Chain A
């Protein structure tokens, strides 16, 4: 696969990532958000495969496979289990109106593209439009975390944000060392486990959603 074709495919995958990110932002339902995040991770795995084929870097194939297993199956399964154990109402209450968040998301994407267009030298190192899409995804993921009251939705936002970082990291022409990617993935899994444990503990001892707790002030 030539590098040009790879850059083109990364462009298209980047657009799909943006689309899934917008859907996550707009999601009114936890299930839709989790499934869309899984779909987004499929695209990340695809990106890894494309880049692996283009640069003949076997590390990227491993990363793609790892992303597929962990972020498409394990993490959503974990989240769904927490939902099941918590037996919660899965509608999401946004703190800011959704249309406002979509406007902010538009501003973020434009900012990301503007920023990366000024980093000309980086463009040579990172294939395609992975840098602006990565920045945009990361920032929109954080936007999701800040504008949602549900703890699980905050976790989905976190995972989507990490997808963005992974996307940029994979597209660096030299590739990220495999150990780092594995380590990061492990951290993400452990973090997810701990968060799940905390959520369940709160649910079982107090009965409310943890993101609703705001006793500590001042």
Chain B
């Protein structure tokens, strides 16, 4: 059973290598879907095993506990839906000339590699391995961001790789410091391992861990998109091909948050919940505030979504910062909720951009008439992102609110509410303008790829489902994850 842990990332690696030799688009799509579905099944099995056994370990460095399961689930779900969406999307891209047929194997192989690196990141127990695979995700995704070779895409890819590599070198330094603290406190063999360090966290020198955590937060926070290190995010997420954007916004920045959560656990053990919590709170609220004006004045559809990701990452950080069982639960729930919803809206955006041949939101009108399914999903997704019931994001944001009030963070919550209201107004305004009205006669109507609709529907089901209720299985997983994070 525990050997599944290292088989899991091996699947996309093997399939990716195999894809390099395949030329046929449909076969590539099939391999894509097959690989990600296999990942989904394996994740489900691993989740069950973890729930029974508490945690799994394989080959000394792969480790899965409840927190891992949460993130694995997100990655698996998004990979599958993206693979399904890519079927229709790629057909359109090749037909319209946006993607050259002979480059398809590389694209698919890179995507598989990207997914593999994300999987290893959340499975890593060794903090150094976590760092290495995090950097590897940057490298693979940078190639994907710049895949289309136009100047904007390359500029975005360059900014992305430079800024995140700087940021992540801060993260490396923080890792080194935490390792030094663990080595000093006497850990010998496992001084790089999260489990070892977390177990002896109370013996670590709090000063070292404090400085280390600051570096970690700045470092991994850059990768996660926390302000003020978020400058690369709107560029990269808007210039990338749509499926890649979905994976970036939905899954990758959450993986960076995973790294932060691991170190947060260590910091809680070493310095008490106050220090790291307050820092997370600070960065969280700064992100929310920094993203809002750009969301309100945005013209470019996908950049809007990019800034939105910054805001929601801020909310997750806020939840973690408020802390306690409720805040952490809210944060972890939001990881899933936002990932699902953001991917959905990116899919919709991809469809809209293809159809209307423009990124500017002003030029997109009457989407519901032009593409009934996608248009409806646009409105649903917009409402969800804005935090309306009965969608999932409403639940997690409400929980953050509750936790904040319980912890007496009145000022923070007030600012948070203000921003959320502003964003609600802005988002609904944008979405409404795009969805309703009469579309330009030149815009093609109908012809929505079934695969796209399927992918989007799957996400909508999850979105609404989690908004209406949280199934007990998931509840157990989240509760367990919260316990692990808080160090019990």
Contact = CB atoms under 8 A, between A and B. Distances in A.
Interface in B149-182: 149-152, 154-159, 161-162, 165-166, 169-170, 172-173, 176-177, 179-181
A187 B207 CA distance: 30
B141 to A, nearest CB: 10
Contacts of B129: 179-180, 183
A145 B155 contact: no
Contact of B157 (A174, A176, A179, A198): A198
Given A187-B135, A216-B159, 5 more contacts: A121-B208, A158-B166, A183-B129, A206-B151, A216-B152
Given A154-B162, A172-B179, A184 B131 contact: yes
B166 A168 contact: no
B166 A126 contact: no
A165 B165 CA distance: 13
Interface string A168-196: 11001110110110011011001100110
A122 B132 contact: no
Given A174-B183, A210-B158, A161 B169 contact: yes
Contacts of B161: 191, 194-195, 198
B154 A216 contact: no
Nearest to B170: A138
Contacts of A199: 158
Interface in B298-312: 298-300, 303
A44 to B, nearest CB: 14
Nearest to A190: B139
A162 B166 CA distance: 9
Contacts of B239: 216
Contacts of B188: 174
A215 B155 contact: yes
A216 B235 contact: yes
Interface string B174-196: 00110111011000100110000
30 contacts: A119-B207, A119-B208, A122-B177, A122-B180, A125-B181, A135-B173, A145-B162, A145-B166, A165-B169, A172-B179, A172-B183, A180-B126, A180-B131, A184-B131, A187-B139, A191-B139, A194-B142, A197-B143, A198-B146, A201-B146, A201-B149, A202-B154, A202-B158, A205-B151, A211-B158, A213-B155, A213-B158, A214-B155, A216-B234, A218-B300
Given A122-B208, A195-B161, A198-B142, A142 B166 contact: yes
Contacts of A145: 162, 166
A210 B153 CA distance: 11
Interface string A80-116: 0000000000000000000000000000000000010
Nearest to B145: A198
Given A162-B169, A216-B235, A119 B211 contact: yes
A169 B157 contact: no
A165 B179 CA distance: 13
A151 interface: yes
A145 B178 CA distance: 26
Contacts of B169: 138, 158, 161-162, 165
Nearest to A154: B162
B128 interface: yes
A191 B205 CA distance: 34
A180 B128 contact: yes
A2 interface: no
Contacts of A213: 151, 154-155, 158
A212 to B, nearest CB: 9
Contacts of A165: 169, 172-173, 176
Contacts of A202: 151, 154-155, 158
B128 A210 contact: no
B412 to A, nearest CB: 28
A180 B157 contact: no
A182 to B, nearest CB: 9
A218 B298 contact: yes
Contacts of A121: 184, 205, 207-208
B410 interface: no
B136 interface: yes
Interface string B228-271: 00000011001100000000000000000000000000000000
